[in-house]
A and B are shown apart, each in its own frame.
Chain A
């Protein structure tokens, strides 16, 4: 078995040092978080927190500067001020759109600019290309870089390559924060997710992120729980707080509250802040806003009265 794996001795043995994941238990535990009852004022506070943690995302071939400006406007002022709702944490765009987002938001905006990079979503590009792309995105004004790992390398056992690429990208990020997308839908097993999380954290990730949103399944509760537990154990071992970003497939306010519960009960209150927890989504915001308006005004809402997602 070991001769199938390439790379240094350390990486040959890393699988042995990372705990295995019990699939049945983790799925049971994750399902339990969806059964907490969160009502009235706690629900309202939770929904507003979700808005403040949201990376409002548009990652389509048809994105235009106008669409990005629209997204930035929505991130800054998600809804009328009488609902007292904070701005979103960031907008997440393709590298070509970073300068448009930066120009719209200015330098002092509460909303950060995040850019996907390193050959998103596949990651199947040469390291030189990936680094150049990252450098340009950071140079155009991205505060955060969402990189994808090379899943092909990971699945063929070349953990050293995965780790080296993350470290190289981290180096060219400069002041920008680095989120590492594991694309858990392609990693097949929870053991792999746990291992990839460990590799990413050790290589210098500020955040680990589940998915690109381009592959099904994207973020699920169990896979996020596995990553949160990896973050917890890494914190106990090193004292370093790594952030978490589930992305893709979170569409309802109810789901997003379940994620908050999971973060609180796995990592504690420290992680309930946009600095350490984000939700990547494109259509979630409107559902959360509808729930906020429903909670404040008392009647059920219609998508007809909310701006396009």
Chain B
């Protein structure tokens, strides 16, 4: 008997509503490494996949926002734990996709884990740090507190392939939002492997959804979809920024831009607690003081 064994090659699926799905369009794209060698196939998301992801995110956001901040923190920390035990395989994915050295890939994964832990700590702190008790000239208590905006679209840059995705997703979901992330178009495999790790980390289905494919194709639909409440745009591409902002001017959804150079994601600029404020709404309540 011959010792030759055929490789079992994977087609990476997208992560929607806690399940791994193919594109409803049936389309796929081949992914290549920097030398042009074919690696694996990924799903090519259509606007209907975006629509399905929005439905999944919308139905998840209520339950997620109602969980206690402490529990949301525990779940984010659990995601960091799961990432830690699978750090080598994720680093391997980054290395074979981007051509980075194993050491650099492993450093990126380590930093991603640290970012999750950092933002996990913020879940039960951002309300008191960013909220306020306001002095008013009548017999009322007056509070201002941040509440989640709702469904947020997150656009990851092409490079680095993993760290910006994690660094932008965590501050979005920690306050109770749910997110639809568009993976790096150039190196989508690490993001999709990250989804496989999220799936085992107690995160309720639909809180994070990850689509892959052609970013430009989805942009008009992200901008015009009325059930997406905010966009965090880390794509770093000028035409994407402009197209999204033109769309949001019509329906007034929130838009936040994260334009960092690839190297900057590894520094302190890539870990900003004020990012939490881009996807919260401040509610002020007046409470009469008993006479």
Residues of A within 8 A of B (CB): 298-305
- Pick the contact of A304: B51, B224, B227 (CB < 8 A): B227
Collect the chain B residues with CB atoms within 8 Å of residue A299's CB.
Answer: 221, 224-226, 251
A305 to B54, CA, bound (A): 16
The smallest beta-carbon distance between A48 and chain B, in angstroms, is 21
Closest partner residue, chain B, to A300 (CB atom): B225
23 contacts between A and B (CB under 8 A): A298-B224, A299-B221, A299-B224, A299-B225, A299-B226, A299-B251, A300-B51, A300-B54, A300-B221, A300-B224, A300-B225, A300-B226, A300-B227, A301-B226, A301-B227, A302-B225, A302-B226, A302-B227, A303-B58, A303-B227, A304-B226, A304-B227, A305-B226
Instruction: With CB as the reference atom, state the residue of chain B lying closest to A293.
Output: B226
Neighbouring A residues of B221 by C-beta, 8 Å: 299-300
Shortest CB distance A293–B (Å): 9
A301 CA to B58 CA, complexed, in Å: 12
Q: Which residue of B lies closest to A298 (CB)?
A: B224
Give the docked Cα–Cα distance between A201 and B251 (Å).
52
Which chain B residues border A302 with CB–CB below 8 Å? Answer: 225-227
* Closest chain A residue, CB of each to CB of B226: A302
Supplied contacts A299-B224, A300-B54, A300-B226, 13 more A-B pairs, CB within 8 Å:
A298-B224, A299-B225, A299-B226, A299-B251, A300-B51, A300-B224, A300-B227, A301-B227, A302-B225, A302-B226, A302-B227, A304-B227, A305-B226
Main secondary structure of the interface of B (DSSP, over half): helix
Report chain A residues within 8 Å CB of B58.
Answer: 303
What number of residue pairs across chains A and B have CB atoms under 8 A from each other?
A: 23
A305 to B226 CA separation, bound complex (whole angstroms): 9
Bound Cα distance from A299 to B227, whole angstroms? 10
Chain B residue contacts of A298, Cβ below 8 A: 224
**Chain A residue at minimal CB-CB distance from B50:** A300
Residues in B with CB closer than 8 Å to A300 are 51, 54, 221, 224-227
Q: What's the nearest-Cβ distance from chain A to residue B117, in Å? A: 34
A41 to B51 alpha-carbon distance, docked (Å)? 21
Q: Which residues of A contact B224 (CB under 8 A)?
A: 298-300
Closest 8 CB pairs of A and B: A302-B227, A299-B224, A302-B226, A300-B225, A301-B226, A300-B51, A305-B226, A299-B225
* Whole-angstrom CA separation of A300 from B220 in the bound complex: 11
A301 — nearest CB in chain B belongs to which residue? B226
A298, A299, A300, A302, most chain B CB atoms within 10 A? A300
Q: Which chain A residue lies CB-closest to B247?
A: A299
**Interface 1/0 per residue, B38-63 and A, CB below 8 Å:** 00000000000001001000100000
A177 and B258 alpha carbons, distance in the complex (Å): 63
Q: Smallest Cβ distance from B211 to chain A, in angstroms?
A: 15
| Least Cβ–Cβ distance between A38 and chain B, in angstroms | 15
Q: How far is the CB of B61 from chain A (nearest CB, A)?
A: 12
Q: Which residues of A contact B226 (CB under 8 A)?
A: 299-302, 304-305
Name which residue of chain A comes closest to B222, CB basis.
A300
Q: Give the shortest distance, in Å, between A259 (CB) and chain B (any CB).
A: 21
Closest chain A CB from B25 CB (angstroms)? 13
Q: How far, in angstroms, from A305 to B224 measured CA to CA in the complex?
A: 14
Alpha-carbon separation in the docked complex, A232 to B225 (Å): 43
B51 to chain A minimum Cβ distance, whole angstroms, is 6
Task: List B213-248 residues whose CB lies under 8 Å from chain A.
Answer: 221, 224-227
Question: What CA separation (Å) do A300 and B57 show in the bound complex?
Answer: 14
Q: Which A residues touch B51, using CB under 8 A?
A: 300
Instruction: State how many angstroms separate the Cβ of B225 from the closest Cβ of chain A.
Output: 4
> In the complex, what distance in Å separates the CA atom of A4 from the CA atom of B227?
58
